[in-house]
């Protein structure tokens, strides 16, 4: 079993109230490091068996049509990860 990760972020020019709220809250927990925060979405799409090019193409199509709003969001990346391998970096 493998997974395809799709990452979606608000377009840079779009106001991100969620991100603003976070960057204003961080000093309250003693973190002054970050000058900005933006919040987007991360999807994991499960594929039975190995990921094929057709699967990646289907994931891109899903990303562009269902998983993101092209008017206000960008699809940042679409890539396969092995479900067994821990996706932590």
Question: Token pair 């377009």 is at which residue?
Answer: 11
* Site track 5-24 with its own copies (rule: CB under 8 A), x = hit: --xxx---------x--x--
Q: How many CB atoms lie within 10 A of CB 27?
A: 11
Distance of alpha carbon 81 from alpha carbon 7, whole angstroms: 13
Q: Is 79 in the site for its own copies (CB under 8 A)?
A: yes
Q: How far is the CB of 77 from its own copies (least distance, A)?
A: 4
Rounded to the nearest angstrom, the gap between the alpha carbon of residue 25 and the centroid of all alpha carbons in its chain is 22
Closest by Cα among 86, 76, 78, 77 to 51: 78
CB of 65 to its own copies, least distance (A): 6
Residues that bind its own copies (CB under 8 A): 4, 7-9, 19, 22, 25-26, 29, 31, 33-48, 54-55, 58-59, 61-62, 65-67, 76-79, 87-89
């Amino acid at each position: 079993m493998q997974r395809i990760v799709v990452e979606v972020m608000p377009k840079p020019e779009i106001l991100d109230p969620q991100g603003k709220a976070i960057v204003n809250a961080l000093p309250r927990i003693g973190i002054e490091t970050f000058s900005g925060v933006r919040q987007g979405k991360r999807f994991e799409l499960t594929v039975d068996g190995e990921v094929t090019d057709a699967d990646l193409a289907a994931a891109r199509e899903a990303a562009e049509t269902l998983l993101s709003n092209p008017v206000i969001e960008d699809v940042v990346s679409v890539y396969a990860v092995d479900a067994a391998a821990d996706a932590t970096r």
